[in-house]
């Protein structure tokens, strides 16, 4: 199927919240990784989300160019072309973008969408994330509300973040930092500010002890009930229509029961990056170690073209990552949920 349009993407999000499953949103930085996601989703008969970060976009544009928006567009164009061959829907979004990077990343991408729409062409992306979680909440929401207005006009879904997701760079030790847990008061303020932009759609990454990157279980305590408390508060104050669509960031290494609890409380999208990177690289490491004297020209030998042709190890990496995508789909209870009608064979 082609990349989901705005209506289909919104239907996907609604179906997930209603039926208590979530879509894996998988970061890709190459055509091979994008193909792995499509394969994994198709084999799971699940729709899903392909995501590109600022760094991933810069990488994809080439080391001599390093244009994050250009690289993101390039991967997106590829996905639009090849997605037609897979019997599922895929949505395309961009990942974390701090306020000081908006002008280099999100804004040029929105301008591209505006240009395409003016020419009656479909959107390249379904949505973008603005990460203002390092700003005071009011400032975060000032920027978010302004973006949301422009997104609404262009049928784009905004994703924002409140609270602070821990991470390696934060030197998180233990779970004492209260900022790792979003409060119902914070999310009520989000709802109050953003419901003013009528007809717009947004997703909220609220933090409940999540940590970006890798962490060993037990390092930080996940409390998915934080999400439940936030949902109850917003429904009580603003009614059922205000119920949040949550995003789970920093979930690598989470226990399955924690993932399920988060999905039960309204998580519809879970970002999966680190685990995919490992699956991809693990397969390449295996190839290199088992074909050591074929990929290298050892002791005056000539190696083996078959083993050092990049396709040989990228193909195994693609399949290994596709398998990891299938596991993510299964963890999120999304197997067999595709909305694509032609999928039942």
Cβ-proximal residue to Zn ion, closest one: 249
- Could you list the residues that contact Zn ion (CB under 5 A)? 161, 165, 249
Catalytic residue from among 14, 47, 67, 95: 95
CB of 287 to Zn ion, least distance (A): 32
CB of 102 to Zn ion, least distance (A): 16
Whether the Cβ atoms of residue 28 and residue 75 lie closer than 8 Å to each other: yes
Q: What is d(CA 183, CA 206) in angstroms, rounded to the nearest whole number?
A: 9
Of the pair 5, 274, the CB lying nearest Zn ion is at 274
Q: What is d(CA 246, CA 13) in angstroms, rounded to the nearest whole number?
A: 10
Of the pair 161, 275, the CB lying nearest Zn ion is at 161
CB of 301 to Zn ion, least distance (A): 48
Whether the Cβ atoms of residue 203 and residue 246 lie closer than 8 Å to each other: yes
Q: Which of 47, 48, 44, 20 is nearest to 262 (CA)?
A: 20
CB of 271 to Zn ion, least distance (A): 7
Residue 56: C-alpha distances to residues 8, 78, 222 (Å): 26, 15, 28
Burial of 185 (0-12, 13-18, 19+ CB in 10 A): exposed
CB of 275 to Zn ion, least distance (A): 16
Whether the Cβ atoms of residue 60 and residue 71 lie closer than 8 Å to each other: yes
Count of residues in the chain: 345
Q: What b-and-e string marks burial along 190-203, b requiring 16 or more CB atoms within 10 Å of the CB?
A: bbebbeebeebbbb
Query: Is 309 designated active site?
Result: no
Of the pair 112, 186, the CB lying nearest Zn ion is at 186
Of the pair 90, 164, the CB lying nearest Zn ion is at 164
Of the pair 25, 320, the CB lying nearest Zn ion is at 25
- Point out the residues that are catalytic: 95
């Amino acid at each position: 199927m082609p990349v989901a349009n705005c209506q289909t993407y919104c239907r996907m999000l609604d179906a997930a919240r209603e039926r208590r499953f979530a879509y894996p949103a998988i970061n890709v930085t190459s055509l091979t990784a994008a193909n792995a996601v499509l394969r994994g989703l198709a084999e799971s008969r699940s729709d899903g989300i392909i995501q590109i970060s600022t760094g991933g976009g810069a990488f994809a544009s080439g080391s001599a160019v390093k244009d994050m928006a250009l690289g993101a567009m390039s991967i997106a164009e590829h996905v639009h072309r090849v997605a037609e061959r897979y019997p599922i829907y895929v949505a395309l979004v961009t990942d974390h973008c701090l306020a000081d990077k908006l002008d280099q990343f999100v804004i040029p991408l929105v301008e591209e969408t505006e240009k395409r729409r003016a020419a009656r062409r479909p959107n390249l992306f379904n949505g973008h994330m603005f990460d203002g979680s390092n700003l005071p909440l009011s400032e975060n929401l000032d920027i978010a509300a302004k973006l949301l207005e422009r997104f609404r006009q262009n049928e784009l879904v905004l994703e924002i973040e409140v609270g602070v997701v821990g991470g390696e760079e934060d030197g998180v030790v233990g779970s004492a930092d209260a900022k790792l847990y979003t409060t119902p008061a914070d999310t009520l303020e989000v709802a109050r500010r953003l419901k003013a932009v009528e007809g717009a759609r947004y997703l909220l990454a609220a933090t409940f002890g999540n940590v970006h990157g890798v962490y060993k279980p037990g390092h930080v305590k996940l409390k998915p009930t934080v999400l439940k408390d936030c949902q109850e508060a917003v429904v009580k104050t603003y009614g059922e229509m205000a119920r949040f669509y949550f995003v789970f960031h920093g979930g690598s290494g989470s226990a399955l029961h924690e993932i399920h609890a988060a999905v039960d409380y309204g998580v519809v999208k879970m970002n999966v990056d680190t685990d995919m990177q490992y699956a991809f690289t693990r397969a390449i490491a295996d190839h290199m170690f088992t074909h050591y004297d074929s990929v290298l020209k050892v002791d005056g030998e000539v190696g083996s073209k078959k083993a050092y042709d990049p396709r040989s190890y990228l193909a195994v990496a693609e399949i290994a990552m596709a398998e990891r995508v299938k596991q993510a789909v299964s963890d999120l209870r999304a197997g067999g949920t595709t909305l694509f009608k032609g999928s039942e064979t």
